[in-house]
Chain A
Amino acid sequence: MEAVRSQRKSSVSNGVVTTLPLYRSAPLLEVRLEDFELYAIDRLRVLKGISDGLSRGKKPDEMEKLVLDLWKTNMRHQHSSEVVNKDIISHFVLRLVYCRTEELRRWFLSMETTLFRYRFRDEAPEVQRALMAEFDLPYKAVSNAEYESVKDKLNQVARAIGQSTTTDAIFYKVPFEEVPELVAGRRVFIQKGNAYIAMNQVVSLVITQFRSHLSKALVLTNRKWTSMIREQEKDRLAPIIEALSTSYLGPDYSQPREHAEISLKDIDQIAKSSFPLCMRHLFEKLREDHHLKHGGRMQLGLFLKGVGLKLDDALAFWRAEFSRKVGAERFDKEYAYGIRHNYGKEGKRTDYTPYSCQKIISSAPGVGDHHGCPYRHFSEENLRAALTRMGVGNRPLEDVIDKVRNRHYQLACTLTFEAVHGSSCDAGVNHPNQYYNDSQRILESQNSSSNPKGTAAASM
C-alpha cells in the first residue's frame, strides 16, 4: 500500500490529482494470487481490444473512444480505492508475461503506449502539465520574444493541419527527434533541429518518453526474469505467467518471427507437421524436381523466411536442391541473388514479406508452376489425393471439398488445419505463416502437456 501512496503523491504536484500512473517502479503491494491473475487478464482484454482496433485501421478519434470504453469496461473494481492498484498491478504482471521475447515485448510496448496515449489525452490540461513535470522533461515554454519571431510559421503549420490559430497558445521547443510522429506528419514547425510543439501536441513528447522508459524496463525485466524470478517463483507465479503468455495472439503474420529460428535438419519434419498444403506441395516438388520456377521460389522462399529460416540456411537449402539439377555454379550465379533479394540483401534491399492467402489465391500459376493455392488451383482429384497424404480423414475431406466447391478456399484450408491438428482454428487461416505459427503453437502445447519439463525451454 505504501508504494502506491507514494506514487499517488508524486502525481499530486500542484494539487492536481491524476489517476494515470507512469509505472516507474514496481509497487510493494500485497496482492492475492487470484487477483494477480484476474487483474492481468482484465488488462489483457484491454490490450487485445486495442490491438484489434489498430489492425482494423481505426482512426484516432475512433481509437480514443475504443480505448476509453475498453478501459471502463474491464478495469473497474468494486472498491474505488482499488482501481489504481489494479491498474498498476496488472501492468507489472503483464510486463513479466511479455518481457520474454523481442516479439512479445514489441507488441506489449505498442499496446501499452497506445493505451497511455489516449488516457493521457483524456486528462485535463493541468493534469497533463503535472504529468509532464513528473517525466522530468527539461523543456520550457517558448518565450514571448521567440514566439513572436516564429509566430507566422507556427500559424501556417496550424492552418496546414486544420487547427485554429490562437495567439496566446503555449509552445514548447524540443529536439525534433523527441517527437517523431509529429515530424512524420509535418504537424510541427521545425527550425535548426528544434520542433515547436503546441500544448495539445505534448502527448507526442510524453509518449516518446513513456515508450523509451518502458522499452528499457522490459529488457531489464527479462533479465531479472531469466536470472532470478523464474527460479524463485517456479511454484507460485511462474505457472501463472506461463499460462498468461499462451493466451497471446500473434499480431502480424507478415512479420518474420525473428526469435523463432528453424534449422535445416528439422525442415523436413516441420514441413510435414506444420506447413499448409500450398507450401507443403512446393516443398515436396522442390525435393522431387530439384527445381522450382520463379513464382514457386518466391512463394516458398518468403514463407520460409517468415518461418525463421536464416539467410545462410536458406542459401544452403536452395543450393542443395538446385545444384543437383543445374549445378552449384549456375545456382550461385543465377539463383542465389534472388534469395538474398528476398531477404533484402540485394537490389532495392526491401525486406520482402511473405505472401498472404489472398495474394496466393489470386495468383495465376502457368505451365510448370507449382505455386498458388491448391484449394483453388488443383483439380478435385489431385486435391483429394494431396489431402489424403496429409492425413485428412474421409469425413473432414468431404467437408473440405464442399468448401472448395463453394469457393471458400481459406475455409477449406482452415478445415484441413483442424482435421490435421485435431484442434480448432477459430481465427481462420489468412496467411500461410499464421497457419504455421498456429500449428507450432498447438504442437508445442501438446508436447508440453505430455512432457511438463519441456515447457520452459519450448516457450523461452
Chain B
Amino acid sequence: MRREEVENGRDDMLIDGDENEQRRIENAVPDGFNADYLKAYYGKVFPYVDMFKWLSYGNDGKHPGCDHSYFGRREFSFTLDNDIYLRFQSFNTASELENAIKEKCPFKIDIGPVYSVDPAKRHAYSLGGDNIFTPVERELVFDIDISDYDDVRYCCSGADVCLECWPLMTIAIKVIDTSLRDDFGFSHILWVYSGRRGVHCWVCDGKARRLNNEQRAAIVDYFRVYKGNENSSKKVSLVGPALHPFLVRSYNEVLKDYFENRLLLSQNLFLNEERFEKILEMIPDESVTSELRGKWLSNKRSKEEINVARWDQLKHLLQSSKQKGQGLRRCIEEIVFSFTYPRLDMEVSKHMNHLLKAPFCVHPKTGRVCVPINPKNCEEFDPSAVPTLSQLLGELNTGGFRGEGDNEWEGTSLGSCVRYFRESFLQPLLKSCKEEIETSYNAKVQQSRNSISW
C-alpha cells in the first residue's frame, strides 16, 4: 500500500469544484488497491441485496414453501488483509452480510456450499458423533485460468493477459456455455471475470445445485480432452473412429474458426522453427513432418502470410495422404484442439465444498472488479476495460449525490454490470425458483393429503 496515494486520494475527494471536467480531473483517484479504497467500495457500491437475492434462490419470500434457514446455511469465507483467513462465516439476512463485509473489509470473499446446518455452528453439531455437517447444495462451478494456457500463447505468460490471448477465454465461455445449455439443459448460468487472469462460471439451476460429487466429476470429464502429460508430445488425444457430437459441434462452431481466423495470426503459431516444431511434434508420421520441415526451413516469406500459408500446407498434406487413413486427418483436429480447447481447473468443479470467489469482489493485484460477462456477446469483453476500484471511486466523487443509498453504483461504470446481473441473470433465476418452490410445496401438500385421507 502506498500511503501517499491514499492520502492524496482522500484530499481530492474533499475538493468541491464547479466545472464537471475540472472535477473529474481533480477527483481522479490514483490507481491501485488498498483497504481504504475497498472500504469505500464496500460502503457505497457492492450490490449486497442482489447477492442476497441470488443466494437465497427464492427462499427469502413469503410462500409457505420457502426454507428460511437456506441462506443462513451458506458458507462464506473472508480473506482479510495480512492473509488472515476466516472460513465458515454465515449470515441470516442481507444486512448481516452487509454489516460483516463492511466491518471486516475482506480483500477476498469466497462462496462455499449450503450445508445441512449453519456452518458457523458446525462444531456444536459435530459433537453428536454422526457427522451431520455436510454440504447439501452447491452451484456447479468452473474455473478457467489463462495461466494454464502458457504452452499455447506467445504474447504473455503466467498471470498476464492481453487482447491477443484473451480470445482463449472467449472460446472457453462459448464452448462450455453452449454445452451446459444444449447438452445438459441448464439455463441459469453466470459467467464472471475473475479479476485478473480468467473466468468463473456459476451454474445455478436447482438441478445443478443438487448434483453430487460423482455427477459433477462426470460433467468435468465430459469436458476433458487433455490427457495432461508434459513428457508426451501430444496433449490432446482424440481417439476412436469418430468424434462425439459435443466435440464436433465445438470444433465446427467455435474452435476451428478461432484457430484459423484469430490465434493462428495473433499468436504467430508458425512464425519460426521453434513454434512450428511444436506443431510438427503432434504429427505421428515422419514422412509428412520431414516434408513440411524441409519446405518451411527453406522458405523465407513475409511474416504476415507465413502462418496461414504453413497451416494450409500442413492441412493439405495431411488431408491428401489418404493411404494413412483417418489417424492423420484427425491430427488437424488434434492440433486445433490443443491450441484452443478450454482447460478447466477440474478440482474446483468436482467437489461441492470447494470455495470460489464471489462476483463483484475486487482483485487485489489488478484492482479490477469481478464483473459478470454476458456469454451472448463474450467476444466483446475486454478485460482491460473492466472498471477498477480507483476508477469507480473517481466516478462516485464526480457523480456527487446522484444515487440514493443502495443505488450509488448506478451512476458508475459498474452500473451496466449490475444491471446485466439483475436483469439477465437474477430475474429469470428467481422466477424459476419461485415456480420450483411452489411446485414442490404443492406436491408435498398433495402427498400429505393423500396420506391423511386413507
A interface residues, Cβ below 8 angstroms from B:
153, 156-157, 159-162, 176-177, 180-181, 183-186, 189-194, 332-333, 337, 340, 345-346, 348-350
Q: A183-B215, A190-B246, A349-B348 are in contact. List 20 more A-B contacts (CB 8 A).
A: A156-B248, A159-B240, A159-B242, A160-B240, A176-B185, A177-B207, A177-B215, A180-B217, A181-B218, A186-B222, A189-B245, A190-B184, A192-B185, A193-B207, A333-B82, A340-B85, A345-B87, A348-B345, A348-B347, A349-B347
CB contacts (< 8 Å) of A333 on chain B: these are 82-83
B184, B217, B246: which contacts A184 (Cβ < 8 A)? B217
The distance in angstroms between the C-alpha atoms of A345 and B353, with both chains bound, is: 10
Q: In chain B between 212 and 269, which residues have their CB closer than 8 angstroms to a CB of chain A? A: 214-215, 217-219, 221-222, 240-248
Q: Is residue B211 within 8 Å, beta carbon to beta carbon, of the partner chain? A: yes
**Nearest CB in chain B to that of A190: its residue:** B183
CB contacts (< 8 Å) of B246 on chain A: these are 186, 190
The distance in angstroms between the C-alpha atoms of A34 and B345, with both chains bound, is: 53
Q: Is residue B104 within 8 Å, beta carbon to beta carbon, of the partner chain? A: no
**Nearest CB in chain B to that of A329: its residue:** B82
The distance in angstroms between the C-alpha atoms of A191 and B182, with both chains bound, is: 6
CB contacts (< 8 Å) of A346 on chain B: these are 85
**Nearest CB in chain A to that of B79: its residue:** A346
CB contacts (< 8 Å) of B85 on chain A: these are 340, 345-346
The distance in angstroms between the C-alpha atoms of A186 and B179, with both chains bound, is: 13
Minimum C-beta distance from B365 to chain A (A): 15
B47-87 near A? 1/0 per residue, CB < 8 Å: 00000000000000000000000000000000000111101
The distance in angstroms between the C-alpha atoms of A156 and B355, with both chains bound, is: 37
Minimum C-beta distance from A176 to chain B (A): 6
Structural contact, B218 and A184, CB atoms closer than 8 A? yes
The distance in angstroms between the C-alpha atoms of A59 and B246, with both chains bound, is: 26
B425-449 near A? 1/0 per residue, CB < 8 Å: 0000000000000000000000000
Minimum C-beta distance from B144 to chain A (A): 13
Structural contact, A194 and B185, CB atoms closer than 8 A? yes
The distance in angstroms between the C-alpha atoms of A180 and B186, with both chains bound, is: 16
The distance in angstroms between the C-alpha atoms of A194 and B87, with both chains bound, is: 37
Chain B interface residue count, Cβ-Cβ cutoff 8 angstroms: 33
**Known A-B contacts A177-B211, A192-B182, A337-B83; A183 and B347 likewise in contact (beta carbons under 8 Å):** no
Structural contact, A176 and B184, CB atoms closer than 8 A? yes
Q: Is residue B419 within 8 Å, beta carbon to beta carbon, of the partner chain? A: no
Structural contact, A183 and B245, CB atoms closer than 8 A? no
Structural contact, B248 and A180, CB atoms closer than 8 A? no
Which 3 A-B residue pairs are closest in the complex by CB-CB distance? A193-B185, A180-B218, A184-B221
B193-211 near A? 1/0 per residue, CB < 8 Å: 0000000000000010001
CB contacts (< 8 Å) of A332 on chain B: these are 84
CB contacts (< 8 Å) of A191 on chain B: these are 182-183, 185
B184, B219, B242: which contacts A160 (Cβ < 8 A)? B242
CB contacts (< 8 Å) of A345 on chain B: these are 85, 87
Minimum C-beta distance from A335 to chain B (A): 11
CB contacts (< 8 Å) of A153 on chain B: these are 245
Q: Is residue B10 within 8 Å, beta carbon to beta carbon, of the partner chain? A: no
CB contacts (< 8 Å) of A180 on chain B: these are 214-215, 217-218
Q: In chain B between 132 and 186, which residues have their CB closer than 8 angstroms to a CB of chain A? A: 182-186
CB contacts (< 8 Å) of B355 on chain A: these are 349
The distance in angstroms between the C-alpha atoms of A95 and B355, with both chains bound, is: 35
**Known A-B contacts A191-B183, A193-B184, A348-B347; A183 and B240 likewise in contact (beta carbons under 8 Å):** no
Interface centre among B83, B222, B348 (most CB of A within 10 A): B222
**Nearest CB in chain B to that of A350: its residue:** B347
Structural contact, A156 and B242, CB atoms closer than 8 A? yes
**Known A-B contacts A193-B185, A346-B85; A183 and B219 likewise in contact (beta carbons under 8 Å):** yes
**Known A-B contacts A346-B85, A349-B348; A160 and B244 likewise in contact (beta carbons under 8 Å):** yes
Interface centre among A157, A176, A340 (most CB of B within 10 A): A176
The distance in angstroms between the C-alpha atoms of A153 and B249, with both chains bound, is: 11
The distance in angstroms between the C-alpha atoms of A425 and B279, with both chains bound, is: 51
**Nearest CB in chain B to that of A187: its residue:** B244
**Nearest CB in chain B to that of A312: its residue:** B123
Q: Is residue B121 within 8 Å, beta carbon to beta carbon, of the partner chain? A: no
Minimum C-beta distance from B145 to chain A (A): 10
**Known A-B contacts A346-B85, A349-B347; A157 and B245 likewise in contact (beta carbons under 8 Å):** yes
Q: Is residue B295 within 8 Å, beta carbon to beta carbon, of the partner chain? A: no
**Nearest CB in chain A to that of B87: its residue:** A345
**Nearest CB in chain B to that of A178: its residue:** B215
CB contacts (< 8 Å) of B221 on chain A: these are 183-185
The distance in angstroms between the C-alpha atoms of A349 and B356, with both chains bound, is: 10
The distance in angstroms between the C-alpha atoms of A192 and B207, with both chains bound, is: 12
The distance in angstroms between the C-alpha atoms of A194 and B182, with both chains bound, is: 10
Minimum C-beta distance from B15 to chain A (A): 38
Q: Is residue B354 within 8 Å, beta carbon to beta carbon, of the partner chain? A: yes
| 20 residue pairs from A and B, CB less than 8 Å apart | A156-B244, A157-B244, A157-B245, A161-B240, A180-B217, A181-B218, A183-B222, A184-B218, A186-B222, A186-B244, A189-B245, A190-B222, A191-B183, A192-B182, A192-B183, A192-B185, A193-B184, A193-B185, A194-B185, A349-B355
CB contacts (< 8 Å) of B183 on chain A: these are 176, 190-192
Minimum C-beta distance from A197 to chain B (A): 14
The distance in angstroms between the C-alpha atoms of A159 and B354, with both chains bound, is: 36
The distance in angstroms between the C-alpha atoms of A159 and B185, with both chains bound, is: 24
The distance in angstroms between the C-alpha atoms of A113 and B246, with both chains bound, is: 30
